[in-house]
Structure 1
């Protein structure tokens, strides 16, 4: 599909994109929520239309450049798979227990939170939509699972060019696959962590249902989000090494702006839109809705629309930064 899009004439490709953008904008304008504040709804529609317009402008001027990276990743898919497995295995090479250490970390983390919050502090259940109360351990774990993946994948993706600097200097090697290799390697632990989350849900009486399928969607959302950010950060950190330290500090602060340890329902309705500007809030709440919320992602129309518009914008910017900086990587490294 990606390769076929690359072969389409620019006029046809732009036409397809603009038709899709027009349909999305039309749905955004026509969608109404009778229970929401009219002024807030109007603000959401205006912001959504502005983001769609910005995306159309970016695609018009940089259509050819924006397709280069997806095409390279598609052609290198087999190499990406092989290198991702090797990257994951080499982390624990030389240790006696090997990959077991990767699987032990999430189990120990969940056990620690269970002992501290459930047994020692006996934290009260968290109320979610519909007045349902969820055990705090399950509520907390459902927020930590996507957050741990985001922090590890972003950190590893940012340092991918520095770690594989010997490959960057090879003329024929497609260095655009390096960030995605590190993110896929982090995905292996994340999948096991999700399994732990599902076991905890069953322990507390939340058994498998059709809504759990949404986890695949939210995992894909987070993967594309962190990949889009990583293309910008991995390119910048080559020239500005202090960026890694800034990211580490920023993640610590960013965690408190994301509803992981606290419930988004404690925020007054008129200020919730500020929290929802954080794309990770969409992911975290999505994991929780999939496990025990019994709601589909398309029921949150505005949040889903905003998230994907944000991701498209970040991917466009990250791709342009990466491609513009690429010729100078070998000289700096």
Structure 2
């Protein structure tokens, strides 16, 4: 009896390890497919418009100007010191915090309906379903990269300088991609198994917005609530982006290492769950 259990456990482990190898192989061999799906998602919203892809830069530019005008000039909220003109601070502070959160929320909301909305691919036995979360996560991050390019241009125009740490934005986006991709695999799987997960996820994302220092600074958090920031990985991302883009400072090495290890573990666990349920996807759509 024990020997049978050992054999079944070994077969399950072999199946999972072979699934990981196949997934990694598909990432490389079907990289053209990942890029095609990501590009299609990225530019789908601009098709048919007069200005086309230019909206990828115009939309964030308009948002930055709007946030700066309303919150910094009219309301007068000031969270950071800007040499020569402190009125410039909150609009840029808010937008820089919104960019990583929007990439997170869009990828997760898309992932919850991913399997059902791509049933034509899922039912095709030769289609590598595991590339769908990867292409979606990549597309949302590249979309927000346009926003960081615009933010850098506005910073240069308004404050007359750029921080050298801006070159590290792609590194931080890489860590964010690992983190979000792990969550996308989890919620893509749950979305196929539990039809109501999308509504629940939207509520969770709203809670995460207010639990993340996007519209409030970490310095104003009472000591007895500081754990909310400590256990929130999005808080690390938001503060890291603000430090790199706006302040020219690097996130603490210890915090970065913990976030990286957590993200890798999340990706491995999420992909394992996805691969385990993958054979049932065709019957669930």
TM-score interval, normalised by the smaller of the two chains: 0.7 to 0.9
* 2:34 matched residue in structure 1: 80
> How far has the Cα of 1:287 moved from its partner?
0.8
> How far has the Cα of 1:104 moved from its partner?
3.4
With 64-73 and 307-316 compared, the bigger mean Cα shift is at 64-73
Distance 1:91 1:247 in 2: 23
* 2:236 matched residue in structure 1: 282
Distance 1:89 1:200 in 2: 24
Matches within 5 A, 1:221-236: 221-236=175-190
* 1:326 matched residue in structure 2: 278
Are the aligned partners of 2:112 and 2:192 in contact in 1 as well (CA < 8 Å)? no
* 2:195 matched residue in structure 1: 241
2:148 to 184, 194, 207: 194
Distance 2:87 2:228 in 1: 25
> How far has the Cα of 1:312 moved from its partner?
2.1
The runs of 5 or more residues in structure 1 that have no matched partner are 1-58
Give the SS at the match of 1:139: helix
Distance 1:127 1:271 in 2: 25
Report the RMSD for the aligned CA atoms in angstroms.
2.7
* 2:126 matched residue in structure 1: 172
> How far has the Cα of 1:64 moved from its partner?
5.2
> How far has the Cα of 1:119 moved from its partner?
2.3
Matches within 5 A, 1:142-153: 142-153=96-107
2:171 to 217, 228, 248: 217
The runs of 5 or more residues in structure 2 that have no matched partner are 1-12
> How far has the Cα of 1:108 moved from its partner?
2.7
Matches within 5 A, 1:1-333: 65-126=19-80, 135-205=89-159, 207-268=161-222, 271-297=225-251, 300-333=252-285
Give the SS at the match of 1:295: coil
Are the aligned partners of 1:158 and 1:237 in contact in 2 as well (CA < 8 Å)? yes
Give the SS at the match of 1:94: coil
With 165-174 and 92-101 compared, the bigger mean Cα shift is at 92-101
Distance 2:65 2:163 in 1: 25
The TM-score normalised by the length of structure 2 is: 0.84
Deviations 1:286-323 (A, max 9, x none): 111112333234xx132112212221221122112101
The TM-score normalised by the length of structure 1 is: 0.73
> How far has the Cα of 1:273 moved from its partner?
4.5
